[in-house]
Amino acid sequence: MRPAINPFGPLKPLDEALAELLAQARPLPGTDRIATMDADGRVLAQDCISALQVPPQDNSSMDGYALRCADVAAARLAQPTELPVELPISQRIAAGSAGEPLQPGSAARIFTGAPVPAGADAVLIQEDCEALAGAGLGRVRIHAMPRPGQWIRSAGEDIRRASVVLAAGTRLSPAGLGLAASIGLHQLEVARRPRVALFSTGDELVMPGAVPPAQMRPGAIYNSNRFFLRAMLLRLGCTVSDLGIVPDRRDATMQALQDASAAHDLILSSGGVSVGEEDHIKPAVEALGRLDLWQIAMKPGKPFAYGQVGPAHFMGLPGNPVSSFLTFALLVRPFVLRLQGALAVAPKALPATAHFAWPRADKRREFLRVRHNPAGGLELFGNQSSGVLTSATWGDGVVDNPAGQTIAPGDSVAFIAFSELLS
């Protein structure tokens, strides 16, 4: 008897699969010009170049007194004891106002963010000083010796004029929005949103709300994948067309694909990427375009499909919820970010300590659901099955465990937080 032919081919390493996908993910044409206030999560389409320096001039980083160090030193020499010494207060400078040049032998009351007056070379914090009543603005008694440059933020120390503050391909964060605003940018040029058509396949799927749990027919399951996939796409800045559940029929599958290809950049399906008699994705996509079926050397998650239907990219995810969740996070997410021109698309792994044993090495690269415990290590969810979605809500992230690798308590492991995979 001849051995059965594997229609997927040999196991493909995850990194190799991702590299092949990213090679197909050319940035989409077109950009949007939007308000900086609304640009969180979007990808910059052009460099942000500063037309000014930040801070624009030397300013105080603390509330206190601006003075000349030499004046304090001279006052110390003119009295029997070194400290404290007193100086008259010649002016008061608040943030948003400009002071006069500092009169020799005097101090200026100054507040955080206020410009340092010409002639001053240090700021003493108010905790090291004592305000005294007297003529004019009074005097200040100094209890500490200032050092040149102390508590002064130098002009341009944060941003230099004509420097690139945020580069094209940067995915904007709340801090990035603040940085753009700090150089006066009220609008930003960003990549346009990818248009994604999302559908599920499987006659066993039922939408929550359509049938009460007590009335579910044998073999039926609620469609959970559609909920988390849509949410993950929206977090990536996509516009999503939810095409619902496509019946397990060749004609229905082809019609859904053909309709979606005309107005979308990516078609994403969940389930139906196997090669069984009721799995119609493969022949439908092949009839309308092209398709590659891969077995990814990752666990959970193995079947994955990539192809094209007309001008649209197509990706098919496995049906098991954790497999679908992780293949999206590790393959689809980088692809969607690259469509927007993002440069950094890989999740960051950090070293962590395992407080569990994993004695069974697998030939595939494993992504084990874990969470931090009060002792500072990682504990393992008891059931690592690809169908147990509770593991993804219980955990803080996954351990990226290489193929053939066992884990003993105390071992250092590579931890990827869900916050890295879901943002």
d(CA 200, CA 223): 8
DSSP code of residue 1: -
Q: Cα angle at 394 between 392 and 396, to 5 degrees?
A: 75
Confidence of residue 119 (pLDDT cuts 50, 70, 90): very high
Model pTM?
0.85
**Pure H helices in 7-65:** 14-24
> Residue 273's CB: how many other CB atoms inside 10 A?
24
Q: Where are the beta strands (DSSP E) in 181-279?
A: 187-191, 195-201, 205-206, 221-222, 239-246, 266-270
User: Higher model confidence: residue 4 or residue 338?
Assistant: 338
pLDDT in tens, 258-288: 999 999 999 999 876 655 545 678 889 999 9
Helix (H, G, I), strand (E, B) or coil at 27: coil
Q: Cα angle at 70 between 64 and 75, to 5 degrees?
A: 85
Kindly tell me if the per-residue pLDDT of 9 is higher than 80: no
pLDDT in tens, 352-406: 999 999 999 999 999 999 999 999 999 999 999 999 999 999 999 999 999 999 9
Q: Where are the beta strands (DSSP E) in 96-225?
A: 107-110, 122-125, 129-132, 139-142, 152-153, 164-166, 187-191, 195-201, 205-206, 221-222
pLDDT in tens, 188-204: 999 999 999 998 877 78
The overall average pLDDT reported for the chain is 92
Closest CA to 416 of 322, 329, 314: 329
